Structures are given as structure tokens and as C-alpha cells.
Amino acid sequence: MFLGSDIMLYKEIDSKFKSDKEPEFIFDTEIFNEDIDIRDIAALEGFYKKNKYLPSKYINLFLNYITYYTRSSVLNPLEDPLTADYKTKCSPAASINYELLTKMGFQVMLFNVGDIMGTENIHQLCMVWIPTMVDGQIVSKAYVLDPTFRQFCLKEENRFERYFEEERYSVRRATPHPGYFMKLDNSGISLAEEIIKYGYFEVTSENLKRYFDSYYFYLKKKEEYKDKESLGKEYISPITGKDYYERILSNKLDFKIGANVPVITPMERIKIERNKLRNKIKYLFTKTDSYQSSLPLDEEDINIKL
């Protein structure tokens, strides 16, 4: 059965396996959970292999599938992707994003927020460049993939009082988490809600600054504030979005797989499912060697041969 046969992406977890106490977050945003037909994503994969770009109107659909695949892969079967906090899942998620997109032929890189900030490792991320057509020219749009950002939005860790409590391991310092600082202004709220829901954001100077500034202040201890009245109220650092982008490019990580899961592209998955079906009915029905995407890709061969 293909992914597109269900109304929702994520399957509901049996209530007897659900935790009595689900994590609480400072944002009410829900994880994206709308139907995606894997045949459409496979068609986009095939389109990209042939044309070396993706149509702009399908980039979000494509990335929504990537996030779904990654979030589903890093959790165990008894964890609910819709309510999970995704703590400690950033490294395997980034590695899965990297391997999946690399197999599909995209330019991808791994990096860690700690390297960007000049500290120990904090949060591993993946950035992908997606070529698309703009005014008849192929240009690349970059996206930071962060499907596990929700771990920085827990109510327990995003209280002002965290400044006066004990310092714990790296993502539980004696400071509020990044979500706290993104919630200090409207642009931060909008960006945080976008990342929580979709698991990625487009690389622009404004987005990079708002996103990484939240880590800048997360790393700033209360003793470092000259003006004590500004404690927990600042959200604009002296670092520009361009500076953050250059730091990312200067701190590329070597690929290291962080999750013990097989990474399968949409075209590979459909081929596997087709082969299973053929083995069951090869003597009963006529075999089929292609599938039809519902996307109007304006190409003669949107039937991808497998």
C-alpha cells in the first residue's frame, strides 16, 4: 500500500502504548500531517535526475516528504511523531537527511550549531541546495533542515527562572532554550512555528539571523550581561545573517551516519513495492513497468520507468 492511500501521513499510536504524560511546549503548533502521495515524490525525484532542477511550486511538497521520512525514521514505533519532543535525535535526523538527499543527487552539507557559535556540539543540522527555475534561469535555493527543533521548545526549559537554576548537560544550560528567545518577537514566533510544523526553513539573511540569534542568547550566561535589566529580554545579536551563512560554509562536517536505519529514496521504495506485488501476481495478471504521477510536471516522460 502506497503512502498516498492514507488521509494522514502519521499513523495513530495505539492508546495503550501512549505515555500518560506528554511533553508540554511553548508553541501550540502541530506537526505537518497532511497526505503526501509517494508516487508524486518519486516523480519529482525522477524529474530532478533528468532535468537537474525542481519546479518551484513543488519544493515545499518535496521537503515535506523529506521531513516526514526523517521524523518517522528517528523515533521508535511506540513514539508518537505528533507529540514527541525529539530530544537527542538531531544527529541521526541530520544524517538521514544527508544520506537521503545525497542519494537523490542534491548538494548537501552537515554542520553543527556549536561550531557556528564557537562552542561544543549543540545541535546537528543539514543544509541542502535545490536548483529551481526562476524567470527561465536555473538558480539554487538553500534550506536548513531541522526536523527536531521542537526539543528546544519544552515549557520546562523555556522559563526565565532557568537563569537561576543549575546548569545541566549541553542542551540544558542555566539559560532558557532557543525557543524562549524566538518567542520574544513576532518574526521569531513565525519562524519557530514554521520550523516546528515543517522541519525546515529557507535560507535568507533574516531567517538565518533570527534562527541562530536564539542560540547566541541561549549560550549567553546571566553573568555576561552588563545591563541586568536586559536579562532574558535581548534577542538581537551583533552577528548578521550573512556572517552566519559564511560560518556554516566554513564548518562543514564530514558525513557520519547517526542512525542505524536503511535510507530508501521514493523511487527505490516504489520499485520494492512493485517487485513484491509482481511476485504475488506474476502468473495471474499482466505485469506493469511504470507508474503515473498526478503532478502536472509538463514533461513528456513523467511515467518513471523502474
Q: Give the tens place of pLDDT for each residue, 16-67.
A: 556 667 899 999 999 999 999 999 999 999 999 999 999 999 999 999 999 9
150 and 203 together in one domain = yes
Overall number of domains in the chain: 2
Yes or no: say if 96 and 261 are a contact pair by the CB < 8 Å rule.
yes
Residue 143 forms part of a structural domain? yes
Compute the distance between CA of residue 289 and CA of residue 279 in angstroms, rounded to an integer.
Answer: 13
Residue 238 forms part of a structural domain? yes
Question: Does residue 277 carry a pLDDT above 50?
Answer: yes
Band of the pLDDT at 73, cuts 50, 70, 90?
Answer: very high
Question: Does residue 276 carry a pLDDT above 80?
Answer: no
78 and 162 together in one domain = yes
Question: Does residue 231 carry a pLDDT above 50?
Answer: yes
201 and 290 together in one domain = no
Compute the distance between CA of residue 240 and CA of residue 252 in angstroms, rounded to an integer.
Answer: 19
Residue 14 forms part of a structural domain? no
Report the candidate in 140, 172, 144 with the shortest Cα–Cα distance to residue 158: 172
Question: Does residue 265 carry a pLDDT above 90?
Answer: yes
**DSSP per-residue codes, 107-141:** EEEEEEHHHHHTSS---EEEEEEEEEEETTEEEEE
Residue 285 forms part of a structural domain? yes
pLDDT tens digits, residue range 180-190? 999 999 999 99
Q: What is the mean pLDDT of the chain?
A: 87
Mean pLDDT in residue range 158-163: 96
Mean pLDDT in residue range 261-284: 76
287 and 221 together in one domain = no
166 and 292 together in one domain = no
Mean pLDDT in residue range 213-228: 95
Residue 17 forms part of a structural domain? no
Question: Does residue 278 carry a pLDDT above 70?
Answer: no
Band of the pLDDT at 76, cuts 50, 70, 90?
Answer: confident
Between helix 241-249 and helix 205-218 the angle, nearest 10°, is 80
pLDDT tens digits, residue range 171-182? 678 999 999 999
177 and 236 together in one domain = yes
Neighbours of 161 (CB within 10 A): 8
Mean pLDDT in residue range 61-90: 94
Q: Which residues form the domain of 204?
A: 22-254
93 and 201 together in one domain = yes
190 and 294 together in one domain = no
Strands (E), the chain: 107-112, 124-134, 137-145, 200-202, 290-291, 304-305
Compute the distance between CA of residue 79 and CA of residue 192 in angstroms, rounded to an integer.
Answer: 23
